[in-house]
Amino acid sequence: MGVTQRLAGLASGILIAAPLAFASPVRAQDQSQKPVPEANTPPTAPNNTAPSTPPTNAASPKTQNDTEKQSTDISSLIKDDNQWPMAAKNYANTRFSHLNQINKDNVGQLRMAWSFSLGTPRGQEAAPLAVNGTLYVVGPYAGVHPNQVFALDIATGDLKWSYAPKPDPAAQGVACCDVVTRGLAYDKGKIFLNTLDDFSVAIDANTGKELWHTKLGDINKGETITMAPVVVKGKVLVGCSGGEMGVRGWLAAVDEETGKIVWRAYSTGPDAEVLIGKDYHGPYDWLNGKDLGVKTWPPDKWKIGGGTVWGWISYDPDLNLIYYGTSNPGTWNHEQRPGDNLFSSTIFARNPDTGMAKWAYQPDPHDLWDYDEINEAIVADLTIDNQVRKVLIHPGRDGFMYVIDRATGKVISADAYDYVNSIKSVDLNTGRPVLDEALTPSLGKTVRNVCPASPGAKDWQPSAWSPETKLLYVPHQHLCMNFKTSNVGYIEGTPYVGADVDMFAGPGGYRGEFMAWDPVQRKKVWSIKEKYPVWSGALVTAGDVAFYGTMDRWFKAVDAKSGKELWKFRTGSGIIGQPVTFSGSDGTQYVAIISGVGGWSGAIAVAELDARVRNGALGFTGAMQDLPAVTVGGATLNVFALPKNQQKAASAE
Amino acid sequence: MRFGKPTIVTLAAGLLMLTFSAQIFAEDKPNAETNNPEAPPPTSSSDAGMSTISPEQLLKVPVSGLTPGAVDARPKLNLPPIDEKAAQRGMENFASFNCVGCHMGNGGGGMGPALSNHAFIYGSSPENIFLSIYQGRPNGMPAWGTVLPEDAIWDLVAYIKNLSNAPVSQWGSTVSSTSPAIEQVPVEIKAGANPWQYTQKFSKGQKPQE
Amino acid sequence: MWSAIGADWGRQPRILRSSQALGALLLQFYAAPASAKAPLSFLSGAGPRNVSTLTWGVLIISVLVVIITTAILLFATFARRERPPSSTSKERQLVSRAGNPVSVIYAGLILSTVVLFGVTIWTMMTLADIAAPPSKPSITVEVTGHQWWWEVRYLSDDPSQIFTTANEIHIPVGEPVAIKLRSADVIHSFWVPALSGKTDTIPGQTNTTWILADRAGTYRGQCTEYCGLQHAHMGFELVAMPKEKFESWRKDQLRSASEKSLASPGQRAFMQKCAVCHTVRGTRAGGRVGPDLTHLMTRSTIAAGTLPNRIGYLSGWIADPQHVKPGSKMPRLDINGQDLAQVRSYLETLN
């Protein structure tokens, strides 16, 4: 453990074990990747540390060794900072890269290397994947070829192949919040695509040929798929969207070789279908009991109870647990579904081999406001009260930053990171939120000024965690709303919402923020207020630069320590995508993001919505009605790099 | 001035006749407009007013603006009444059948396109709108024809006509930092079958005035 | 009933015969105890005893007052008396003939005051008595008035015990039951005359009342605030049953409808023609415009107490609800004979 110990010392009390796959020496053996012990070793220094060396958390950039066969295994690719092999970069979901050719001193020189138009006008939430010199991108379910996949050469920008699934355009009618996709997955020479109309497809990463496709859901039930799949131990993990459609949410594991469904875990219903067995231990009393997924609902309501799985999946190989959150319960009118409504708005820990649940924690029992808890749960080890704790950091949709013990599901701390009045605090003894009862909606009455609004203080847009600064970089929004419920009938294949919502800017008049949060000190370190919600993901690198995009068409780089703006670039359309970084075979560090406004927040600028009717887009129109005056839709992949002379200077440092 | 008895009687009779004929006029007028001799009773869409028009006839209404030979082939159909009472019922249907879930409160648009402006992808005539609901449309509009009675669909058409009745200031539309100038009073503040009656200053994403 | 009234008719005093409506009403109340015979009688209540005692007491006092006053009035009108000698001092002569005028006025005043005051106190005491139920109700039923039917939801702290039915409220005998009243549209009023507790349902407001039946039986309830075209056909039944029977009824109502018949032509036709408005729990039918039909066949009436729930009536109702109940939200469907038979046969499985 020499390397780890050294780093732990450097870390001044806070140890970050990421990427966690390193923890297993057995897995590390068959990898071509060669971990570099020192975090600040220049990328040109090859290192042949024996693979059996105990794991390190500091995968350093390295040049590719041409004599060795390139690894195609996801568990080794995630440790290679030349690659960006999954949407969240690694199983820990850190979105942190050790690449430091681009750093805070030279980022101001960043230039566009090349760009590529995806030919679609709707929202671009996907992360590009960079694997062994090729960049894989996917477009939303719009345009001539919905969910089209493109493979591009990183160094030249040449298009290698493209793949278009066979679409059922009616799927657009059951996709609640624009027809987005959040990205692809890669493992063993295959690209995995989920289509909006519920297909999971495997494509040969070299040729673009289809290997298999499997239908996982039914649009007539309101099921769609928007999430980026994650491959864990040969299984493609895919969940469905449709929490606004009376869908019964599930997460499925699909065999990556055959396309067969290995297991499917529902979020509601009897234990046998939620995959709750004797290994399950709820962190609090109220989360233990038989068939809670049935008993915490009025009879049969769990069958249309939401709890869909459309966000991020993280994985701790040590504990062999995957972590993910489930969506809001259906309907938005809480009076139609008395009870805690388990396991909606819940964070699950499951065994990826069997799907069996280990624990489940519900931050928002009996959700009142559409607070999905699908946001990322970042795997990190923090030193809290002089104790190293294995935690999940979960920036909750309800505006609270949850730090959770990832072995048990118990909440260690929960603090508001934006203005919140719907929840006063989180009771750490019971794990339950303390609500402001005065704001509880009742049928037909308008409740005013509820903060955060339905998209929460933060929606799907993923944060980045730097093990160097020990800060979490959180893109989020700052919105409040008026909310009025109505009774709604369930009609299969139509929405099941039951609320009129009207959102607007929160206190101070701004609508978004990019902030750095210290999860140990439990406070905001710095923040940048933005006019519009920051609906893009975040990226942070060892060069101490954090990247994010804004809906008014800026791609920005800021100092990871101070938040000082270092560079910005005006893109063709607003940004709601995920910034990524990687190296090409030419040794150049690239930063890439797909611009193209849309999503729930940006639908007003790309879909046929009316800015003058505030209740549109489930109320988001109210908060975004001036967006069409600054941007329209249009998807472009933007790839940036330093000029050649700057690259050399950086490498020589 | 003095009136004899006969004079008064004649005058009274004349007045009576005048009132009578005025009443007839008043009753005739709405019927003449809607071309429906038997308007439905005020509280029901489904009684005497069963629409006399069949979807087959409606199929003759073109959706395209192009007609080979430039012949205007739009048939003249006797449509059911599209009036305020129908719109009121249509508003209830709009909520009951979850139209509101996609097209949102006051038709501002969400999963489905906005109905609050004059733009209709598949035609803006009542016949076009009826058929869009009846047949569904390929990009996500469900086909309601097998599920809803035709009268309920006509009531929806009447409501949508109200929703789309946005004020027009110019032929095209301008979007800028100063345009549009107005927005609707949102539905949680004021609900009704004719939402464009209530407008306020454009809020630019800030909390609306109350 | 009506023939019985007719037989009594001749023996009634002339003065009552002239007010037919009042007489009929009174006789209906006399015709207790059968709730079936006089389903809306509030004088033979099975509710809190003191309410009917008060009702009877006040009624008797009122009738006595009317009789006495009428008698005096008639006497004063028709009694022979001497013509006044002159047009002057007519009043003085009149009162002087009746004795001491002042004492008569005082006597009348005191008598009325005592009686009215007594009745007021009695009423107040009774009202105070029934303001809260005698014991804490263990069952809460949420009743929502719709144009023109009643939605009935049994609440519970345990969400899995909550269920919805319509137009029929079952309660255990001898136990107070809390009623939460809501309205989906306009003001209605909830009243089971035999058990008292008339309370309005007001949109945007939840009113609460309670009911108690001390005898098993079926009691008729009715909307008693004019609410539109079919106000008269907005009835319901309240079934008071022994505790064990009630429990088994409740358990039965919690049961979901079987999904077995999912692919049956009847279910298909139902999903196509009915499901957007009606819920059948356990299936994909989840509409909320009309009543929940999960256990339709356990209910004794259809269309809010308008028709008996028998196959013939049910078919007629589905085929043309606007004929039975013009203005009702249930539309006349374009349904052919075959579909109708299939839908009906599917409904018959909902027990």
Q: Which DSSP string do the residues of A506-572 spell out, in sequence order?
A: -TTS--EEEEEEETTTTEEEEEEEESS---S--EEETTSEEEEE-TTSEEEEEETTT--EEEEEE-S
Report the neighbours of B using a cutoff of 3 or more CB pairs below 8 angstroms.
Answer: A, C
* Residue of A367, A485, A490 best to disrupt the C interface, most CBs of C under 10 A: A490
Name the active-site residue from A198, A244, A367, A459: A244
Closest by Cβ to C327, choosing from B43, B50, B151: B43
- Tell me, what's the pLDDT at A438? 95
Which residues of chain C form beta strands (DSSP E)? 139-146, 149-155, 163-166, 168-172, 177-183, 188-192, 196-201, 207-211, 217-223, 235-241, 301-302, 307-308
pLDDT tens digit sequence for A171-187: 999 998 899 999 999 99
* Phi, psi dihedrals of residue A197, rounded to the nearest 5°: -90, 30
A91 has a pLDDT exceeding 90: yes
A8's enclosing H/E stretch is helix A2-10
> Does B155 reach chain C within 8 Å, measured CB to CB?
no
Model confidence at C92, in pLDDT bands (50, 70, 90)?
low
Based on C-alpha coordinates, what's the Rg of chain C?
27
Model confidence at C335, in pLDDT bands (50, 70, 90)?
confident
pLDDT tens digit sequence for A5-27: 444 444 444 444 444 444 444 44
Helix C20-30 × helix C2-9 angle, to 10°: 120
User: Which residues of B are less than 8 Å from A489 in CB distance?
Assistant: 96-98
Q: Do B149 and C333 touch (CB under 8 A)?
A: yes
Q: Do A489 and C289 touch (CB under 8 A)?
A: yes
- Tell me, what's the pLDDT at C54? 86
Min distance A198 CA to chain B CA atoms (Å): 15
Q: Do B96 and C328 touch (CB under 8 A)?
A: no
Which pair of structure tokens corresponds to residue A46?
């090859």
Percent of chain B with pLDDT over 90: 55
Minimal Cα distance from C185: which residue of B? B92
Closest by Cβ to C286, choosing from A304, A340, A445: A304
B150 has a pLDDT exceeding 70: yes
C83 has a pLDDT exceeding 70: no
- Tell me, what's the pLDDT at A5? 46
Residue A556 CB burial class (10 angstroms; 0-12, 13-18, ≥19): buried
Percent of chain C with pLDDT over 70: 81
A95 has a pLDDT exceeding 60: yes
> Does C158 reach chain B within 8 Å, measured CB to CB?
no
C-beta of residue A546 within 8 angstroms of C-beta of residue A540? yes
Q: Do A489 and C284 touch (CB under 8 A)?
A: no
In total, chain C counts a number of residues equal to 351
Model confidence at B160, in pLDDT bands (50, 70, 90)?
very high
Closest by Cβ to A482, choosing from B142, B188, B202: B188
* Residue of A248, A440, A491 best to disrupt the C interface, most CBs of C under 10 A: A491
CA distances in angstroms from A526 to A417, A558, A564, A566, A618, listed in the order given: 12, 11, 9, 15, 31
**C309 vs C300: CA distance, rounded Å:** 5
How many CB atoms are closer than 10 A to CB A83? 27
Q: Do A296 and C160 touch (CB under 8 A)?
A: yes
A2 has a pLDDT exceeding 80: no
Residue C69 CB burial class (10 angstroms; 0-12, 13-18, ≥19): exposed
> Does B47 reach chain C within 8 Å, measured CB to CB?
yes
Model confidence at B123, in pLDDT bands (50, 70, 90)?
very high
User: Which residues of C are less than 8 Å from B151 in CB distance?
Assistant: 331
C111 has a pLDDT exceeding 90: no
User: Which residues of B are less than 8 Å from C284 in CB distance?
Assistant: none
Largest CA distance in chain A: 70
Average pLDDT over residues A432-446: 94
Q: Do A300 and C160 touch (CB under 8 A)?
A: no
Which pair of structure tokens corresponds to residue B64?
């395209």
A85 has a pLDDT exceeding 70: yes
Minimal Cα distance from B153: which residue of C? C331
User: Which residues of B are less than 8 Å from A511 in CB distance?
Assistant: 205
Q: Check residue A593 and report its DSSP letter.
A: E
A370 belongs to the catalytic site: yes
Based on C-alpha coordinates, what's the Rg of chain B?
23
C-beta of residue C40 within 8 angstroms of C-beta of residue C222? yes
Closest by Cβ to A489, choosing from C155, C163, C286: C286
Average pLDDT over residues A487-505: 96
- Which residue matches tokens 């004492």? C103
In total, chain B counts a number of residues equal to 210
- Tell me, what's the pLDDT at C73? 86
> Does C322 reach chain B within 8 Å, measured CB to CB?
yes
A244 belongs to the catalytic site: yes
User: Which residues of A are less than 8 Å from C159 in CB distance?
Assistant: 295-298, 337-340
- Tell me, what's the pLDDT at C104? 73
Average pLDDT over residues A607-615: 95
Min distance A345 CA to chain C CA atoms (Å): 18
Residue type, A406: R
**A131 vs A78: CA distance, rounded Å:** 10
How many CB atoms are closer than 10 A to CB C88? 8
Min distance C301 CA to chain A CA atoms (Å): 24
Min distance C227 CA to chain B CA atoms (Å): 12
* Residue of B85, B147, B156 best to disrupt the C interface, most CBs of C under 10 A: B147
A604 has a pLDDT exceeding 60: yes
Rounded to an integer, what is the distance from CA B91 to the centroid of its chain? 10
State whether the Cα torsion A78-A82-A86-A89 is positive or negative.
Answer: positive
User: Which residues of B are less than 8 Å from A629 in CB distance?
Assistant: 175-177, 179
Q: Do A615 and B186 touch (CB under 8 A)?
A: yes
User: Which residues of A are less than 8 Å from C254 in CB distance?
Assistant: 299
- Tell me, what's the pLDDT at C86? 56
Residue type, C278: H
C-beta of residue A41 within 8 angstroms of C-beta of residue A58? no
* Mean pLDDT lowest among A148-162, A540-554, B164-178: B164-178
B28 has a pLDDT exceeding 80: no
CA distances in angstroms from A408 to A290, A321, A377, listed in the order given: 19, 11, 14
Q: What is the mean pLDDT of chain A?
A: 90
- Tell me, what's the pLDDT at B67? 83
Min distance A168 CA to chain C CA atoms (Å): 23
Helices (H) and strands (E) in chain B, counts: 6, 2
* Mean pLDDT lowest among A175-189, A275-289, C254-268, C315-329: C254-268
- Tell me, what's the pLDDT at C50? 72
**A368 vs A91: CA distance, rounded Å:** 31
A197 belongs to the catalytic site: no
Q: What is the mean pLDDT of chain C?
A: 83
* Residue of A300, A445, A497 best to disrupt the C interface, most CBs of C under 10 A: A300
A561 has a pLDDT exceeding 60: yes
Model confidence at C262, in pLDDT bands (50, 70, 90)?
low
A442 has a pLDDT exceeding 50: yes
C40 has a pLDDT exceeding 90: no
- Tell me, what's the pLDDT at A69? 67
**A529 vs A513: CA distance, rounded Å:** 4
Chains A and B form CB pairs within 8 A to the count of: 170
Residue B6 CB burial class (10 angstroms; 0-12, 13-18, ≥19): exposed
C25 has a pLDDT exceeding 70: no
- Tell me, what's the pLDDT at C1? 35
Model confidence at C216, in pLDDT bands (50, 70, 90)?
very high
Q: A526 preceded by cis ω (within 30°)?
A: no
**B4 vs A639: CA distance, rounded Å:** 103
Q: Do B41 and C272 touch (CB under 8 A)?
A: no
Model confidence at A585, in pLDDT bands (50, 70, 90)?
confident
- Tell me, what's the pLDDT at A410? 97
pTM: 0.85
Query: What torsion do the CA atoms of A443, A446, A447, A449 make, to the nearest 10 degrees?
Result: 160
The β-bridge relationship of strands C235-241 and C168-172 is parallel
Helices (H) and strands (E) in chain C, counts: 11, 12
Min distance C187 CA to chain A CA atoms (Å): 15
Average pLDDT over residues B77-91: 93
